[in-house]
Structure 1
């Protein structure tokens, strides 16, 4: 086994893109192309040696890839399929790297945290293959160690790479990731639309990614259910407010509702949860999580996503809708002899009432009973 501590990234982009009907590597994605985004994904995760295998329309890719300063490997046998491109790329890595991420060029949106989590698992276990998994489905890129290199290089395309890696199943591991991007590739125009939509909102975890975050951190099912109801209430409220002229990001409200209690049960759980979310790369969401228990709402405060999540959380007790009086009344009675705690409860209640009054005023209604929450 190679003892150099080098992890490489191999992107295969040599195919015909026949099912897509357009050359996938050069499709626009945001302000870049699909292939540029794939390179960025690996580099943002800490992989400095990125190599790209080209074949079909290689001459169109060379100028772009040279500007990206990646090693370009031409596969003259690309017509034989993806396995031939893997072999062509691996021939340049064998003896140099101890493992490599294998990323199809049409699966470009891998989160930085995912790459780091897979590397951490590899360092911990020394597994032959580390597979990324999202909601029980394996995706890309697998991290393939040098123990598999000889079998791949001496193999053939009859069974493909999957059959070869299956030989190492007993010595492989799966890593549960909160990253829907590991499953998003481009085979059709509809796939491309979904990928583009995902890219546009990549700073906010999707609904399923939020559920994966909760599952990964072993959040109690009751807490998870509470978050789902808070998300539903927040979504309804934000949608109605947008209908009267506000410009709230509904996806951010939903994500905030789902994961606001991520660190429930830990000391200072809002701040702790905010830090956890920030470490995952979701900075806008982290502030909402951190402020869901205590926030200032001055007279000139503009209703934003954090205020909606704060209020929605106070309108949900467990998994049922309640009034603010029902939510805060028990705490006021229970801690009536503890001035410090009462002050804290009153502060939160008054903030919730202030946000409530503003929301109802904007909607032109007198109570939440008139809203379809």
Structure 2
């Protein structure tokens, strides 16, 4: 079911009303009266239970406060960012960002884990807290860079960049213990989970001549990882010096 707050701009209510999916209007302020009859249901926010599956309930809103509310309820959140603003969160909560009315009318596919699911993947694979903290900073830095590049019309997906940054070190401890190539195991895990793009980002964030980053998303996570030592943004020279001290066999 699609949900849209009644206080949404009239153009957004009109677009959602035309979509073929089952839908309901969330009682949240006074709606534009012409659209009241376009929705078969009008619900109070507190009436809606947590769904069995996140995809069962999808909230569409131009107001990021409603995206926060939706994620707290266990829903999917589609951010109708037609003004093309920067995300107000360092770690984006939305599952999908649409930037034109045409995008909103296309079939949607939630092809990335949300923030909670991403942290769950790290937890399920035994990633220690210090690596999670490092990955969170890498994700935030890469996401900020991606948003700024997109403002210059660079074709980059900031949400993919963020999730890739968060999961790039999924196999860090395993690769150290087993002596295997860092990034390869993470790529296998993420691909099996249904996230091949994230797998490629993990595979190509390392200093390896045969696994250089190719896409903007891969390049930004690669760069951000080289700017962050632990959970501190330090710059490339200091970061590479730390890597060489930690892994003296690498030259």
TM over 0.5: yes
Structure 2 residue aligned with 1:314: 226
* From 203, 218, 241, the counterpart of 1:329: 241
Change (3 A) 1:232 1:206: same
1:282: Cα distance to partner? 0.8
Per-residue CA deviations over 1:62-117 (Å, capped at 9, x if unaligned) read: xxxxxxxxxxxxxxxxxxxxxxxxxxxxxxxxxxxxxxxxxxxxxxxxxxxxxxxx
2:77 alignment partner, SS class: helix
Q: Is 1:236 matched with 2:149?
A: no
1:290: Cα distance to partner? 1.1
Root-mean-square deviation over aligned CA pairs: 4.0
Question: Separation in 2 of the partners of 1:287 and 1:205?
Answer: 15
Change (3 A) 1:290 1:332: closer
Question: Separation in 2 of the partners of 1:187 and 1:302?
Answer: 34
Per-residue CA deviations over 1:115-163 (Å, capped at 9, x if unaligned) read: xxxxxxxxxxxxxxxxxxxxxx97516xxxxxxxxxxxxxxxxxxxxxx
Contact 1:238/1:250 (8 A) holds in 2: yes
Paired residue total: 175
Decide which structure has the larger Cα Rg and report it. Answer: 1
Structure 1 residue aligned with 2:134: 226
Per-residue CA deviations over 1:320-372 (Å, capped at 9, x if unaligned) read: 01121111224446766xxxx343xxxxxxxxxxxxxxxxxxxxxxxxxxxxx
Structure 2 residue aligned with 1:294: 207
Q: Is 1:208 matched with 2:116?
A: yes
Question: Separation in 1 of the partners of 2:112 and 2:169?
Answer: 17
1:305: Cα distance to partner? 0.4
1:194 alignment partner, SS class: strand
Question: Separation in 2 of the partners of 1:242 and 1:213?
Answer: 28
* From 257, 269, 291, the counterpart of 2:165: 257
Question: Separation in 2 of the partners of 1:229 and 1:212?
Answer: 17
TM-score (norm 2): 0.56
Contact 1:206/1:251 (8 A) holds in 2: no
Gaps of 5+ in 2: 7-17, 23-48, 81-94, 97-107, 176-180
Change (3 A) 1:296 1:332: closer
* From 140, 156, 174, the counterpart of 2:52: 140
Change (3 A) 1:323 1:280: same
Contact 1:185/1:195 (8 A) holds in 2: no
Gaps of 5+ in 1: 1-12, 21-25, 35-136, 142-180, 344-373
Question: Separation in 1 of the partners of 2:184 and 2:230?
Answer: 21
